């Protein structure tokens, strides 16, 4: 595995790569969820490129950019052991020379749910993803369903900006209690981990209520709110049932609905989602 730390070197190498290039972008702080991406991408590609770049543009001043638990040595081992040919770890200075004055705005979808809770977050994500696409020119990329709104935004970017890149969706990898794996899970103390397990239980409850033909979204989200709100360690940011294309709230369930939520537990801000549908 070759480690690359500059855009110029990455571009020069890319020029001489032939065959199908798969790309797995990450922030670093790798876990088994990321490994699922690497394994899937490895099977589909001739050359596998993975990046680790803690993108400051997608963190607000009050978020955990400086605490984000990254262990570069461990991440590089994981890349190497999972078939990565080129590990791209650019420096902030190289990625943001003199800071950007040009940004990619994903539009209305960037202002709801995660975008509403984290203003500017998706402009930061969209801008870095477009930069990485231009530097790496992959044939396909993997993105995780855990970050459902991000996944939708990347699909829009590929279509709207005419990138010739295929997207491979990776289902959410969970631990044995159902908690979606996340780099931020390392912040959880043992009591907090028990509280975090309730996130998936509440999504399952929502899915069950939908299957029992409760079509009123508020009825379902109120039930989940009550369940999570009982736990003093959980602070709810939002619980919404949305259209999976626009991420706008739907008052009553239709054919395709996504139940999305964000909570804070201790130092960890956690998000998760599940597709919910009625039985009809």
> Cα dihedral angle (12, 94, 91, 82), rounded to 10 degrees?
-30
Nearer to ligand AMP, 130 or 209 (CB): 130
- 60 and 121 Cβ atoms separated by less than 8 Å: yes
Q: Environment class of residue 161 by beta-carbon count within 10 Å: exposed (0-12), middle (13-18) or buried (19+)?
A: exposed
Q: Does 172 bind ligand AMP (CB under 6 A)?
A: yes
Nearer to ligand AMP, 28 or 206 (CB): 28
Which residues 14-53 are close enough to bind ligand AMP by CB under 6 A? Answer: 26-27, 33-34, 36-37
Nearest to 257 by CA among 236, 239, 240, 272: 240
Tell me how far apart the alpha carbons of residues 110 and 173 are, in angstroms, rounded to a whole number. Answer: 25
Known catalytic residue at 34: yes
Neighbour tally for 190: CB within 10 Å: 6
> Cα dihedral angle (89, 91, 97, 98), rounded to 10 degrees?
140
Write down the least CB distance from residue 146 to ligand AMP, Å. Answer: 4
Which of 104, 144, 202, 217 lies at the binding interface for ligand AMP (CB under 6 A)? 144
Which of 21, 157, 170, 274 lies at the binding interface for ligand AMP (CB under 6 A)? 170
- 28 and 145 Cβ atoms separated by less than 8 Å: no
Write down the least CB distance from residue 112 to ligand AMP, Å. Answer: 18
Nearer to ligand AMP, 183 or 217 (CB): 183
Which residues 215-244 are close enough to bind ligand AMP by CB under 6 A? Answer: none
From 106-114, 165-173, 211-219, 237-245, span contacting ligand AMP (CB under 6 A)? 165-173
- 49 and 21 Cβ atoms separated by less than 8 Å: yes
Nearer to ligand AMP, 75 or 253 (CB): 75
Catalytic residue among 31, 34, 37, 121: 34
Write down the least CB distance from residue 143 to ligand AMP, Å. Answer: 4
Q: Does 146 bind ligand AMP (CB under 6 A)?
A: yes
- 43 and 16 Cβ atoms separated by less than 8 Å: no
Which of 48, 49, 158, 180 lies at the binding interface for ligand AMP (CB under 6 A)? 180
- Positive or negative, the CA dihedral 264, 228, 36, 188 is positive
Q: Does 57 bind ligand AMP (CB under 6 A)?
A: no
Q: Supply the DSSP symbol for 58.
A: G
Catalytic residues: 34
Residues in contact with ligand AMP by CB under 6 A are: 26-27, 33-34, 36-37, 143-144, 146-147, 170, 172-173, 180-183
């Amino acid at each position: 595995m070759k480690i690359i730390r500059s855009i110029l070197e990455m571009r020069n190498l890319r020029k001489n790569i032939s065959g199908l290039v798969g790309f797995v972008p990450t922030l670093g702080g790798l876990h088994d969820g990321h490994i699922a991406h690497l394994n899937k991408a490895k099977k589909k590609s001739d050359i596998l490129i993975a990046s680790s770049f803690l993108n400051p543009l997608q963190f607000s001043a009050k978020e955990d950019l400086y605490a984000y638990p990254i262990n570069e040595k461990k991440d590089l081992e994981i890349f190497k052991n999972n078939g990565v040919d080129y590990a791209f770890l650019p420096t902030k200075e190289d990625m943001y020379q003199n800071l950007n004055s040009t940004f990619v705005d994903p539009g209305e979808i960037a202002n709801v749910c995660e975008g509403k809770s984290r203003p500017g977050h998706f402009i930061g994500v969209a801008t870095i993803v477009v930069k990485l696409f231009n530097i790496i020119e992959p044939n396909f990329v993997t993105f995780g369903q855990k970050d459902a709104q991000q996944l939708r935004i990347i699909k829009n970017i590929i279509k709207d900006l005419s990138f010739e890149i295929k997207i491979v969706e990776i289902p959410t990898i969970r631990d044995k209690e159902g908690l979606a794996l996340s780099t931020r899970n390392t912040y959880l103390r043992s009591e907090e981990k028990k509280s975090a397990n309730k996130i998936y239980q509440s999504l399952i409850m929502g899915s069950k209520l939908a299957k029992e033909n409760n079509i009123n979204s508020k009825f379902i989200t109120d039930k989940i709110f009550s369940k999570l709100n009982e736990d003093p360690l959980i602070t709810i940011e939002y619980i919404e049932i949305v259209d999976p294309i626009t991420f706008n709230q739907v008052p009553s369930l239709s054919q395709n609905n996504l139940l999305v939520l964000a909570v804070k537990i201790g130092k960890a801000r956690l998000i998760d989602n599940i597709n919910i549908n009625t039985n009809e």
